[in-house]
Amino acid sequence: MSKLFGFTLITVFFLAGCGKSGPEANASAKPLAVTVVKVKAENVPTVEELPGRTSPYLIAEVRPQVNGIILQRPFKEGTEVKAGQLLYQIDPATYQAAYNSAKANLARAEASLNSSRLKAERYTELVKIEAVSKQANDEADAALKQIEADVASAKAALDRARIDLDYTKVSAPISGRIGRSAVTPGALVTANQAGALATVQQLDPIYVDVTQSSSDMMRMKRDLAQGKLKHVSGDSVSVQLVLEDGTVYAKEGKLAFSEVSVDQGTGSVTLRAVFPNAERVLLPGMYVRARMTQGVKSGAILVPHLAVSRTPLGGAVVMVVNADNKVESRTVKTAQSIGDKWVVIEGLSTGDSVITEGLQKVQPDMLVTPQEAVIKEASQEPITKKTAAPAATK
């Protein structure tokens, strides 16, 4: 019995000691250290990121303009050709013969013209002294005019024969890169046939056609009118290109024009930009994304992505340290993204300290020790709004 009593006393003293040390430990605990950034309003360029495809600056389909057999194809497929360079040689034998015949006909007509002119001149003098009748003089003048018409007709026939002969040499209509050939030497071709012999495309510079929804364009114009956006300085709009693999194209382009009407099928407007392409990095038909600066948003508050969490309903929440170094939960409204930052349009104001590190350990009303983080200025980065790619057409 005495042993049981002693064990009970020891247990009571041990529990009493534990109860005493708990409050002392909590009283001596330090506030949790968290990293914060102080947000501020900035003027940030607003960039629209739009889907698009590349297209040639110039394109020409090569077709024959005379009938004949292909004798030569002195170009290499997939290479650069110059305007006027020989691409195909059609058998010129029949056209050379037609040219020679037309040339002889012209010479015959010119010889007759000389004789008729001399006769008409003599009759003009003789009719004055009534050595010939007026009828004979009129007939000489009519014969001269007929021969002159024959000469003109012979010259036209010669020109036509020369043109046909020249057309036996099929030349490149523009400078650019030529694709595969649809025919080989020995093939029969016909004038103005439906199928092209080859296609030449000028790729430097190159067009990029992008689409923007009419609703986005109306929203941008409305924001500009209300002062939420400011016009970009300068006459031309620069365009940056993001390639299919996510890399940014090295050279900037310029906006060339925008359509004046909305496509009834898609509800979008086509914008065309021009890019230099000396290295032929861009090829026709490539899918790209174009970034165009369309205004400057004033008073934008930028918050790092990692500082924003989402509620089960999709709302955006940030943790803020107030003036008493206590944690507050703020519901915010985000608009667009700038790289690794969100643009917050509601819920924050200049000077608020937003927690970026230690979020997993904090709770509302918890006392913390804020440590301000050093971040790079984001005013040089554009606000980018990505637009979904258009659906593929069947």
Q: How many domains does the chain have?
A: 3
pLDDT of residue 246: 87
User: Is residue 358 located within the same domain as residue 226?
Assistant: yes
Task: Measure CA 99 to chain center.
Answer: 49
Whether the model pTM is above 0.85: no
CATH for 206: 2.40.30.170
User: Is residue 308 located within the same domain as residue 375?
Assistant: yes
User: Is residue 77 located within the same domain as residue 150?
Assistant: no
110 burial level (CB within 10 Å; 0-12, 13-18, 19+): middle
How far from each other are the two terminal CA atoms of the chain, in whole angstroms? 95
- Cα gap 118→392, rounded to integer Å: 77
User: Is residue 183 located within the same domain as residue 294?
Assistant: no
pLDDT of residue 227: 63
Is 189 inside a domain boundary? yes
Please give the C-alpha separations between residue 1 and each of 4, 6, 12, 130, 329, in angstroms, as whole numbers.
5, 9, 17, 179, 59
Q: Name the DSSP letter for residue 364.
A: T
Is 354 inside a domain boundary? yes
Q: Is the sign of the CA dihedral 58, 61, 65, 70 positive or negative?
A: positive
pLDDT of residue 232: 59
Is 310 inside a domain boundary? yes
CATH for 150: 1.10.287
For residue 209 the two structure tokens come to 């056609």
Classify each residue of 14-46 as buried b or exposed e, where b means 16 or more C-beta atoms within 10 Å of its C-beta.
eeeeeeeeeeeeeeeeeeeebbbbebeebebbb
User: Is residue 224 located within the same domain as residue 283?
Assistant: yes
Is 267 inside a domain boundary? yes
- Cα gap 170→2, rounded to integer Å: 123
pLDDT of residue 224: 66
Range of the domain at 131: 92-167
User: Is residue 216 located within the same domain as residue 305?
Assistant: yes
CATH for 179: 2.40.50.100
pLDDT of residue 9: 42
pLDDT per 10-residue tile (average), the chain, 394 residues: 43 45 51 90 78 94 96 94 96 96 93 85 82 84 89 95 96 95 95 93 94 78 66 68 91 83 82 92 93 76 89 90 92 81 86 90 91 60 47 39
**Which amino acid type is present at position 358?**
G
User: Is residue 180 located within the same domain as residue 227?
Assistant: no
For the CA atoms of the chain, what is the radius of gyration? 42
Is 85 inside a domain boundary? yes
pLDDT of residue 235: 57
User: Is residue 225 located within the same domain as residue 145?
Assistant: no
205: preceding bond cis by omega (within 30 degrees): yes
User: Is residue 155 located within the same domain as residue 281?
Assistant: no
276: preceding bond cis by omega (within 30 degrees): no
User: Is residue 212 located within the same domain as residue 279?
Assistant: yes
For residue 48 the two structure tokens come to 């629209």
pLDDT of residue 22: 46
User: Is residue 265 located within the same domain as residue 365?
Assistant: yes
Indicate the Cα dihedral angle 318, 322, 324, 328, nearest 10°. -30
Task: Measure CA 348 to chain center.
Answer: 37
Is 32 inside a domain boundary? no
pLDDT of residue 3: 45
Is 17 inside a domain boundary? no
User: Is residue 235 located within the same domain as residue 381?
Assistant: yes
Is 25 inside a domain boundary? no
Token look-up 């107030």 returns 322
List, as one string, the DSSP characters of 281-327: -S-TT-EEEEEEEEEEEEEEEEEEGGG-EE-TTS-EEEEEE-TTSBE
For residue 58 the two structure tokens come to 């110039």
